[in-house]
Structures are given as C-alpha cells and as structure tokens.
A and B are shown apart, each in its own frame.
Chain A
C-alpha cells in the first residue's frame, strides 16, 4: 500500500469534515443554524451520488483511476474555494425566511444545493474510487479516511478560532489540492500543474480578499443596522460564532420596561452573535442605586427580600449580573459559555460597563450552566436566567436547539441549589399563540410535585406586564409579608399578578387587560393538575422538556397543523414553527433522493441476482447506526464537558480515530459472515450497554477537572468506536469477494444512509428522545447482524 495514497486520503478526509463545519458556520451567520444543517445534509448526498455514479460507470473510472483520482481531488479543492464566492455573490439574495412566501426562493434554494453538492461529490467520488480500486486493502484505506476525518474536526475548530469564516474555505481548499498533487502521474504532469496552480491562486485570492457575507435581512443585526449611524465597531471570531459589537444613536435596550418608568433610556452598544441579538453593554456603574431592569417583572425577587447569593444562568453581557449588584448581592456567579463575549466584556469593553465582570462580588464561569449546576455545592438566594424566546417570538427558529437549562432535570438541579428562602426566576415574552409561558408553568408545576411540595400554591408566583410574564418558585412557602410586597411591587410598576396566593377577582387584568383571556384559563388548568387534558387538546406541544428530549422551544404538533392552517392561513403556519418544519422537509428530500440514488445503479448492475437485499440492509444498517451513535454521544457529552464545541471535537475525534484503528485491525480478519455478524453484534451490544451505564459514568465523574474528563471521554468512547470501525471495511471486502460491482453501490448506500440518519436522528430525538435514538442505533446494527445469520 502506497504511503502517499494514504496521506492523500487522509488530507482529503480532513478537508471534507473541515469544509462541512466551516460552511455550517458561514450559513449559521448568514441564515440560521437549521438552514445550515439542511444545506449541508443535502450537499452530503454527494457521497451517495458518488456511489451511484461509480456503480454505473465503475469500469470506466477504474481504467482511468490514476488520472481521475488526483483530478477529482484538485477539482474538489477548486470548488471548495469557489462555493462561498459563487453562492454569496451570485445568490446572495437567497433568504431562508422568504422560502414560504416567495416561490422564486425555492429555485434559488435548489441551485444553492447543487453548488454546495459539487465539492462533496467530487471528493466522495475520489474516495469511493480509491475504496473500489484498493478494496483488498480497504481496512488500511478506511483507516486513513477515518483518521483524516477525525483530525478534520480539530483542524476546523483551530481555524475557526483564528480566521474569519469567509476566509476559511480558501484554507481548506488547499488540502484536497495537496492531496491531488501527491498522486499526480507523469502522463499529464503539465496539465495537473496548471490546474493545481489555478486552484491555489483562487484559494489564496479568496483568503486574502474574502467575499462579504450577506446576512438575512430578518436577522436582528440586519434591522439594527438600519438604525441611524449604525456601525459594526468590533468583530471577533471563534467556533462559538461571529461576535459583533454594534453602535447606533438610536440603540436603546429596555425590554418589557414598566410604563411607570419616566427616566431616560440610555443609548448603548449591543452585542450580536452570528447576527442574533446577544445583549447590550449594560448601562450600569458601581454608584448606581437603581437599575433600568428594576422596572421589569424580573426584578420582583429583589423586592421581596435580600438576595446575597445570586446565580445568573447564561449571564450574556451581564444585565442580570448588574441588577444583582445594584441590590448589593455579595456573591454573584455569572455562568456564560460564550468565551469570546466574556473576554470582550472583561477586556476591551470593561471600561464601558464599569468593569462589571471584574467586580469583587462576581465570579465568572465560562461553562454550560448545567455543568456548573452539577459541580457547584453553593446555595443561592436567587437563580435567574435571561428572558426566554426573542421579543415577539422566533417563529420556532430555535425549535431544534437543545436547551439544557430548560429541562425538568435542570429545574430540579436549580431547586437543590436554593437556600431556604431562595427563588428561581424565569421570564418569558407573552407570545401569541401563547406557548412559552404555559410550558414554563407546566415545567415548574412538575418540579414542585416531583419535589413533594405540599401546598404548591404557596411556593409559586407569576406576574405580568404589558409584554412579559415572570414566574418565580420559592423553596419555602411565601410569607404574608412577601405576598404584600409582591402586590405593592405590582401596583408601583403597573404589573398584574397572574399566580399568587389569595388572588382577588379582577386582579389579573387590573393594569394590563387582554382581549383574549383564554391565557388565564390555560394557566388555571395547569395549576389544577388537570394538565394532561390540556396537553392533549392544545394546538402546541406543552409537555416539559427533559434531558432526553431537551427541545423546550419545540411546540409543533403535527396533528394540529390542519387546525392551525384554518386559524392562521396557509402562509402563517411556517412562521409559527419554521425550525422543525425545515428539518422535516430536509428529511423528506434526503430520503427521496437517497432511495433514488440507491435504486439507480440497479439499472446497470441488474435488479435480479443474489445478495442485493443483503447489501442494501447491511450497509444501510451501518450508515444509520454509526451516525445515530455519533449524534447521541455528542449530545450526551455536552453537559459533561461543559460546551457543545468541546463535546463535538472530543466525540468526533475519539470516535473516528478509534474507528480508524478498528478498521486497520479488521484487515487481519477474514471477511466472513461470522466475523461480520460478530463485529456488528458487539457494536449493538455496546450501544445497549451504554444506554444503561453512560449516564451514571458521566454523572459520577462530572466533578473532575476538564482535562481528566477529556481523557475519560476518550476512554469511554474508545471501546465501541474501535468495533464500529470494523463492519464497514469487512463488509466491503466480503461484497468484493462475491461481486465486485456491488462495492461502489455499497459505498453509495452507506453514504446515503449516513445523511438520512442525521435528519432522522433529530426527528426521533424530538419525538421520542435520545434513548430511543440509541435503541434505533442498536437495531440498525442488529439488522447488520441478522442479515448475516445463517450464512
């Protein structure tokens, strides 16, 4: 086996993974995360497509492999460098949000898909061709492929910390060109040199002069930039996203401010992450005795008692931290996982916020809040978090964002971190149709019931302004004095109590009336512990989220769609729950495309003959199973390692490198049905075992230092990953021994199903939870076992 070939496969594999992550980041900036996911998923069908093309024209490609392989690699590098300039410059006007109102956008979307597909198709065709040509050494080639893919994740993350995302495709593009150069033959040396030089020049040009990214006009930064004198003052890149600081003469932030406030609202700079509102540079100084947010429903806990120890979850730019300091909190834990924003607040912008995060009472923790809750032993008088949902709703754009701070387990952990008089405070905008406040209330009710609280009504408060509603749960029953203070606060601020002991007739709507009072009926139904009925009848999903299904903002119920269409009209529905709809549409597109791509080669290799069903089932099982496990492991390690990026990097690297080793070792075994059965069976067994033991393993060791946890993660992932690397190369060798023409087809099937599995895993996780995704992974590997039984 040539060393150069393995290095070349490795380099190309690094590029394929790195370009995926880079394009995801770019699309998350210009559009939304789920759109990014959709485009990349469809583009990844390039893998399935390459298998189809290879299966149909296998001999043609094999006859010219020495020339075609480096050519495909260099062309894939060239197209990687061009994909962003072409889509941004020529198709910059595309906007996901307009997809449902403007039919021309559908065509733009299709063209976008096709452009993104090209580099993936070319790269996959090169790898597929190498797999077919060197199938006897597939264990080693696949090893190089997996090691390269594993490193690709790390390379992308290093790049994302260093360069602006629009420069990165240029950098990544150099890798496939280098991979191609390693393999060029003497025959067309000049032509290859010319093509490589052109590719390198283009890549370097777009590194030096990257194209401007066109951000959707429906992202919050776009309409902020319409304000007079708006300028982006500062930008910072990282895998967390693109952080931008914007200033404008008309940028004032006082969400849900009481109408009792008569003072000035200062003009402040604002911070955006990937074009989405992140927070203002807070208007606060150490001498302040009142705070703008004292005139918001969130301020209630400071009016019912002294809060010495305060935990601010997702502290952002520090609004809630400064509110706590204004009320003389002595110990404020500010937990915010976005490291670049915290570093900007602590360095460049420290002077503008009176060194808020350097205040002696403040301790900054750059962690996932849930990780902090698991490791802290402190007791807090107040645990607070930022307002849920964006102002005016987000149309379900975050439906598929895992929100681990809003699960029943999160609230339970918060409850156990409360001091005897401590309170949890959570605020939401009043959305319409009402969803967020009802789900919060349902979650809090479940918390109080699960904690065995006797008289729930004495522990729960909700107050409402013209735009927001805040909920509070107190560890011990509310005292008469506290209830009086709450009423007094409401009167002063023109707020109304929604839930309060001894609520009087008319109190709920004294200052802020609502035309449609069904909101109060729903609140009462949830309070009356008769909420099962409401959960069943309501048009939106209101059941509390859990760590197994951490999708708090996922409200869509498929069975309600006809009724919602009737109420709001056809066009409105997508704007209620666009995020989940996008994934569902993606899944349907991918599934249809995958079926077509799998069936297409049969016209060439024939529908009849033995072993075809075996090939479909075996390689589909592997494609689905591998990705299901990868997706769930990434989710499971987020809380453990304290950050989605650490989790993704650790899991992808450990999984792929250990699978690579497994693949390498597999070359020592004979590719017989018995070995295939065993390899797939061991993976299925590990999957089932990990469903049971992984949560405990992670829970026991979560308090260890990060570096130790990183190492432990690797050790936990290594055993199943080692075996996960075996079934695919063994299967290809087995297929090759029976019918060589099935090899590219099997490669295509595996590619198609890997892509199907990403969308399918999300849908299963939303509907049934991660445990079921893991069970499905075991079943998928089980299929690979069953098809080899009796052979």
Chain B
C-alpha cells in the first residue's frame, strides 16, 4: 500500500505536467479555431504553424495562463507579444513559401519568428533590447527552432549579410520605414509593418517592391492594449 502511494506521489508531477501540456494544447486548438480560422485566416501553412508553436513557452511565467487569450501580453521592457490573430494575419499577408528567407525586426520573445520558421527555410530576427534578444535566442534554441538566427542590434540597419529577403516582418511600430530595409527587400518582396503608436491605434501596412516602384497598402487598423511592464 505504502509502495503504491509512493509511486503515485512520484508520478504526480509527471502526470500533472502531462495534464498541463494537454490543457495547453486544447487551449491552442481553441485559439486557432476561434481567433484564427473563424476570423478568416485561410493560409494553410500559417494555421498549421499557429497550431504547432507552443505560445505559452514564449511568455513570462506569470502570463502563461493568459498565453492563448485573444490579446497581446507584456513580455517586459515595455514590449508585448502580439495578439495571436495579428501574428497569423501578418504571416498570412506575406504568403510565405518554403524556400523563403524572412527577416523579422523586433524579435521580442521570439514567438513570431518561431511561427514563421515552421513555414520557411530561413528566419533572421533582430532585437534591439539585449535582455529580450538573449532570452529569445536561448528559448528558440532550447525549443529546437534551428532555422532561426537571432541578432542583438538596431533593426534599422537590417541584416545585410543575409539580404536580400523575400519578406520582412516588422513587429515594432515605426514613424518611418527605414531605407535599409526597403533596400534589402528582393524585387517582388513584401514587407509588413505596423504604422502608428504601439499604445494606440495602428494600421498594418504592406510595402511591396516592384522594380523601381514601391507601393504600400494600408490593410487594417490594429490596436494594442497597453500593459504594465512585466518587470515593474
């Protein structure tokens, strides 16, 4: 009897962990159905990537239970991990294909890079805040996202060594679109960028390079809910 009890006690953390994992998977599945598919995201690889990447492992511990909520979450240093729908929408808009080389500006927790990395061969992501960049790099490596490379630098300059890119995803709002990024976009390439203050209304803008011409398209307004910094 005692031996049985000890076995159950020893198994408890394992069972509890498994339960937790199952619960997160169920939450993720619900998130994909309700927030992604039901809202009109149709790009199969994007939906599949959103279904696979464990978002709860990209948020601070205190936010794990909210990881699959329909909202952005604070990740520290005044930065947020975008709302799941926004991640899916920005990914779908660039129509990533397997042989794509994608640059992300503003790695944050690394979640968006992880989602894109499930679809394309190479993802390069840059983070300006060293603490965030370092933890994103370690997290992505630990979770096995081997096709993502993280650089800690000012994203303004892009990543010339790996240019040109098929697509560039800018996750941080900018009051101007850095010329080096436009320069590093392939002919026919697409860049998606939120325009506006990160704390108020933003519009997602798609920039397309067509030969000598550069065209933009304001896609939709996005509002990021403000959050207290996680480190406060």
**Which residue of A228, A254, A466, A571 is within 8 Å of B205 (Cβ)?**
A466
Q: When the two chains form the complex, which single residue of A255, A263, A514 contacts B179, counting CB atoms closer than 8 Å?
A: A263
Which listed segment binds A: B38-46, B59-67, B139-147, B224-232? B224-232
Hey, which chain B residues are within 8 Å of A394, CB to CB?
A: 197, 200
> Is B156 in contact with A259, judged by CB distance below 8 angstroms?
no
A98 to B173, CA, bound (A): 20
B215:A265 contact, CB within 8 angstroms: no
Q: Smallest CB-CB separation from B216: which chain A residue?
A: A466
Task: Report the separation of the CA atoms of residues A156 and B154 in the bound assembly, to the nearest whole angstrom.
Answer: 43
**Interface flag for B189 (CB, 8 Å):** no
Q: Which residues of A contact B173 (CB under 8 A)?
A: 392
| A238-260 interface code vs B (CB 8 A; 1 in, 0 out) | 00000000000110111111011
Q: Is the CB of B215 within 8 A of A512?
A: yes
A787 to chain B, nearest CB (A): 49
Asked whether any CB of chain A lies closer than 8 Å to the CB of B98, the reply is no
B216, B223, B232: the one contacting A572 at CB < 8 Å is: B223
Residues of B contacting A433 in the complex (Cβ-Cβ under 8 angstroms): 201, 221
Q: How far is the CB of A754 from chain B (nearest CB, A)?
A: 34
Closest residue on chain B to residue A102 by CB atoms? B228
Residues of B within 8 A of A (CB): 77-78, 128-130, 154, 156, 173, 175-179, 182-183, 195-203, 205, 207, 213-221, 223, 225-229, 232
Asked if A392 meets B195 with Cβ closer than 8 Å, knowing A93-B232, A218-B226, the reply is yes
A572: which B residues are within 8 A, CB to CB?
A: 223
CB-based nearest B residue for A226 = B78
Mark each residue of chain A from 564 to 602: 1 if its CB lies under 8 Å from any CB of chain B, else 0.
000010011001100000000000000000000000000
- Is A217 in the interface zone, CB < 8 Å from B? yes
| Cβ contacts under 8 Å, B217 to chain A | 512-515
| Complex Cα gap A253–B198 (Å) | 16
B191 to chain A, nearest CB (A): 10
Most chain B beta-carbon neighbours within 10 Å: one of A259, A261, A264, A511 = A259
Query: Is A101 close to B, CB under 8 A?
Result: yes
Q: Does A432 contact B221, Cβ atoms closer than 8 Å?
A: yes
List 13 interface pairs A-B (beta carbons < 8 Å), by A numbering: A98-B228, A249-B154, A254-B175, A254-B176, A265-B176, A265-B179, A391-B197, A392-B200, A467-B195, A513-B218, A514-B218, A515-B220, A575-B201
A residues less than 8 Å from B196 (CB atoms): 391-393, 429, 432
A154 contacts chain B at the CB level, 8 A cutoff: no
Residue of B nearest to A93 (CB): B232
Residue of B nearest to A223 (CB): B78
Q: Which residues of A contact B177 (CB under 8 A)?
A: 257, 259, 466
Contacts of B201 in A (CB 8 A): 392-393, 431-433, 575-576
- Evaluate whether A227 and B213 lie within 8 angstroms (CB atoms) in the complex, with A250-B156, A392-B196, A572-B223 already known: no
Q: Tell me which residues across on chain A come within 8 A of B78, comparing CB atoms.
A: 217, 222-223, 226
B214 touches A256 (CB 8 A): no
Q: Is the CB of A262 within 8 A of B197?
A: no
Are A390 and B216 CB-contacts (below 8 A) given A259-B207, A265-B178, A432-B203? Answer: no
Q: Chain B contacts of A393 at CB under 8 A?
A: 196-197, 200-201
Task: Determine if B179 and A430 form an interchain contact, defined as CB atoms under 8 angstroms apart.
Answer: no
| Least CB distance, A481 to chain B, in whole angstroms | 25
Bitwise, A373-412 to B at CB < 8 A (1) or not (0) is 0000000000000000011111100000000000000000
Cross-chain contact B175 with A391 (CB below 8 angstroms): yes
| Shortest beta-carbon contacts, A-B, top 6 | A392-B197, A392-B196, A257-B176, A466-B216, A432-B221, A254-B176
A714 at the interface (CB under 8 A from B): no
Q: Which of B195, B197, B223, B228 contacts A390 (CB 8 A)?
A: B197
Task: Evaluate contact between A260 and B198: CB separation under 8 angstroms.
Answer: no
CA A217 to CA B232, docked complex, whole Å: 10
For A249, list chain B residues within 8 Å (CB).
Answer: 154
Question: What 0/1 readout, one digit per residue, does chain A (716-734) give for beta carbons within 8 Å of chain B?
Answer: 0000000000000000000
Minimum distance in angstroms from B196 CB to a CB of chain A: 3
A392 to B195 alpha-carbon distance, docked (Å): 7
By beta carbon, the residue of chain A nearest B218 is A514
Q: Is the CB of B215 within 8 A of A494?
A: yes
Return chain B residues, CB-CB under 8 Å to A576: 201
Q: Is A95 an interface residue (CB 8 A)?
A: yes
**How would you classify the secondary structure of chain A's contact residues: helix, strand, loop or mixed?**
loop
| Nearest CB in chain A: distance from B79 CB, A | 8
Interface pair A511/B216, CB less than 8 Å apart? yes
Contact between A467 and B200, CB atoms less than 8 A apart: no
Which residues of chain B are near A217, meaning CB under 8 Å?
78, 228-229, 232
Cα(A510)–Cα(B219), bound, Å: 15
Chain B residue numbers with a CB within 8 Å of A467 are 175, 195, 205
Whether A494 touches B213, Cβ cut-off 8 Å, given contacts A256-B175, A392-B195, is: yes
Taking the complex as formed, is A97 at the interface, i.e. its CB lies under 8 A from any CB of chain B?
A: yes
Alpha-carbon distance between A257 and B217 when the two chains are bound, in angstroms: 16
CB distance from A583 to the nearest CB of B (A): 19
* A512-B197 CB under 8 A given contacts A217-B229, A228-B154: no
Partner of B156, one of A252, A494, A575: A252
Closest Cβ of chain A to B205, distance in Å, is 6
Is there an interface contact between B214 and A260, defined as CB atoms closer than 8 Å? yes
Asked, given contacts A393-B196, A393-B200, whether A259 binds B128 with beta carbons under 8 Å apart, the answer is no
- Indicate if the CB atoms of A262 and B154 lie closer than 8 Å: no
Q: Using Cβ atoms and an 8 Å threshold, which residues of chain A touch B225?
A: 101, 571
Given contacts A262-B183, A392-B201, A575-B223, contact A513 B216 (CB under 8 A): yes
Complex: A431 Cα to B201 Cα, angstroms: 8
- A259 and B179 CA atoms in complex are apart in Å by 7
Given the interface pairs A217-B229, A259-B216, the reply to whether A395 lies near B195 with Cβ below 8 Å is no
How many angstroms between the C-alpha atoms of A334 and B74 in the bound complex? 42
Produce 1/0 per residue, A215-233, CB < 8 A to B: 0011000110011100000
Residues of A within 8 A of B156 (CB): 250, 252, 265
0/1 per residue, A536-578, Cβ < 8 Å to B? 0000000000000000000000000000000010011001100
In contact, A259 and B218 (Cβ under 8 angstroms): no
Closest to A254 in B: B176
Least Cβ–Cβ distance between A411 and chain B, in angstroms: 26
| Neighbouring A residues of B198 by C-beta, 8 Å | 223, 392
| Distance to closest chain A CB from B8 (angstroms) | 40
Chain B residues contacting A568 (CB-CB under 8 Å) are: 223
CB-nearest residue of chain B relative to A432?
B221
Interface residues of A in 246-292 (CB under 8 A from B): 249-250, 252-257, 259-265
The reply to whether B195 and A494 contact each other, CB–CB distance below 8 Å, is: no
In angstroms, Cα B148 to Cα A540, docked, is 45
Q: Are B128 and A250 in contact (CB under 8 A)?
A: yes
Beta-carbon contacts of A604-639 to B below 8 Å, as 1s and 0s? 000000000000000000000000000000000000
Q: Chain A residue with minimal CB distance to B214?
A: A259
Q: How far is the CB of A476 from chain B (nearest CB, A)?
A: 33
Residue among A98, A250, A252, A466 making CB contact with B226, cutoff 8 Å: A98
- Tell me which of A98, A256, A430 contacts B176 (CB under 8 A): A256
Given known A-B contacts A97-B199, A255-B176, A393-B197, A511 and B215 have beta carbons under 8 A apart: yes
Is A227 in contact with B128, judged by CB distance below 8 angstroms? Answer: yes
Question: What's the minimum C-beta distance from B88 to chain A, rounded to whole angstroms?
Answer: 17
Q: Is the CB of B154 within 8 A of A250?
A: yes
Q: Type the 1/0 row for A422-443, where 1 means its CB is closer than 8 Å to any CB of B.
A: 0000000111110000000000
- Residue in A222, A228, A261, A466 whose Cβ sees the most chain B Cβ within 10 Å: A466
Q: A223-B198, A494-B216, A511-B215 are in contact. List 19 more A-B contacts (CB 8 A).
A: A98-B226, A101-B225, A102-B228, A218-B199, A226-B78, A228-B128, A228-B129, A250-B154, A252-B156, A254-B176, A257-B176, A391-B196, A392-B198, A466-B195, A466-B207, A467-B175, A494-B215, A511-B216, A512-B216
Separation of A250 and B127 alpha carbons in the complex (Å): 12
Q: Which residues of A contact B226 (CB under 8 A)?
A: 97-98, 101, 218
- Measured in the bound complex, the distance between the Cα atoms of B210 and A510 in whole Å is 13
Q: Is the CB of A430 within 8 A of B77?
A: no
